Amino acid sequence: MAFTFRLSYNPDMLDDSFTDRMRQSGDPLADAVIAEYIGAGEIPELNALLGRLHANMGDPAGYPPRLAAFFEESSRLPPWADPERIARAQRLFTLHGPIFGLVMLFKSLPILYAGGKGGAQVLAMTGQLNNHYRRRASETLRFILDVMEPGGLDAGGKGIRTAQKVRLMHAAIRAYASASPLWKGRREAWGPPINQEELAGTMLAFSTVTLDGVAAMGLKVDRRDAEAYLHAWKVIGHILGIDPGLYPKNLGQARVFWKSLVRRNFLRTEQGLVLIRDHQEFMATLIPGRLLDRGIPTLLRYLMGRKISDKVLDLPESRAPFVLLLFLVETFRLQKLGFLLFPGLVRRARAVSVELMEAFQAYLNAGHSRPFRVPPSLTRH
């Protein structure tokens, strides 16, 4: 066990000078693949590839050698990956999918708009695309469903493939965004787009920050389940190319690390404000009628906290639908109690939860799915 920790944890992680170095670092393996396409002037081929990856990538064995080597190398799980803890995390997610999905929409995704040192800026660059918020929510949910389905992180699992594709997309965006006028003169302060520090922050947003949100929504997660969830996200982080020095040892350390990332990166920016405004408009399209729309900022504020809401994202205070929030929290609390009293319900509930999440992802995707492309605005300079 001690060996496991040594491999997956770097005691320097909380040291600012280490994080400063990580901020300057991209993802050499994926960046080299993308650089080859760009160097050969093969942007249409790159876009075709990203489009194919988005849909269904086929057999990587038929790919050009460097790409095939990337898929081979990045599919290997780290030696410290623990199948038991991964399976435990997947069981947690499949049982409580809807609450995790809710927290993803109201906390894990929008909290990233607060990252003002290149994070919000790069999201805003691709945010001009049609249906951006819908596609982003849909694809992020697809990602989470793929990695969290039982077996999703086994050799050849769906989740591994999905994470590899996203890793290449990130590298393509990194290449183009860093050459954009916005990055001019900012490279030293911001580091490359989607750099290691930003990646680690997002890994935490989808793990520890999500777990805190789930708890705030009334679901008490068993400590071992919660640690397993973080473990699974470290494994996902590995496939996404995150430096092993950035994996927190446990939830306690993850929270301290998250705080330091908030201190280092969160600030009010023009792009962050546009992103949070448009995100709310997108959420309003998901809720029938107008009556409940005022509940959107309320839930965002509740989950992201007053400080970020007031100082960084300008989310207005509104008490009106607070009773609805209480109703939601009580529902999740009672659901857990129901599972404790009637364990026989768990299997059925798991099947329903997965079906619900799949149906929601299909709904988000319906008629809006279009292959991801490097935005033309980024390739024109």
| Contact residues: ligand HEM, CB under 6 A | 54, 119, 122-123, 126, 135-136, 139-140, 143, 166, 169-170, 173, 194, 198-199, 202-203, 206, 237, 240, 372
* Minimum separation from the CB atom of position 225 to ligand HEM (A): 20
- Kind and range of the H or E run holding 338: helix 322-341
* Minimum separation from the CB atom of position 309 to ligand HEM (A): 20
Q: Measured from the CB atom, is 161 or 349 closer to ligand HEM?
A: 161
Q: Which residue has the CB atom at the shortest distance from ligand HEM?
A: 126
Q: Tell me how far CA of residue 328 lies from CA of 82, 332, 333, in angstroms.
A: 34, 6, 9
* Minimum separation from the CB atom of position 207 to ligand HEM (A): 9
Q: Give the residue among 199, 257, 234, 259 at the shortest CA–CA distance from 15.
A: 257
Q: Measured from the CB atom, is 139 or 332 closer to ligand HEM?
A: 139
Q: How far apart are CA 241 and CA 165, in angstroms?
A: 12
* Minimum separation from the CB atom of position 297 to ligand HEM (A): 22
> Which residue bears the tokens 């389905």?
149
Q: Measured from the CB atom, is 51 or 316 closer to ligand HEM?
A: 51
Q: Tell me how far CA of residue 205 lies from CA of 141, 235, 254, in angstroms.
A: 14, 15, 10
CB 210 within 8 A of CB 103: yes
Q: Measured from the CB atom, is 331 or 377 closer to ligand HEM?
A: 377
Q: Measured from the CB atom, is 202 or 309 closer to ligand HEM?
A: 202
Q: How far apart are CA 105 and CA 89, in angstroms?
A: 20
Extract the tokens encoding 331.
């529902």
CB 204 within 8 A of CB 254: yes
* Minimum separation from the CB atom of position 187 to ligand HEM (A): 15
Q: Tell me how far CA of residue 16 lies from CA of 21, 25, 245, in angstroms.
A: 9, 14, 13
Q: Measured from the CB atom, is 99 or 122 closer to ligand HEM?
A: 122
Q: Measured from the CB atom, is 332 or 373 closer to ligand HEM?
A: 373
What are the φ and ψ backbone dihedral angles of 115, each rounded to 5 degrees?
Answer: -70, 105
Q: How far apart are CA 85 and CA 207, in angstroms?
A: 14
* Minimum separation from the CB atom of position 126 to ligand HEM (A): 3
* Minimum separation from the CB atom of position 35 to ligand HEM (A): 18
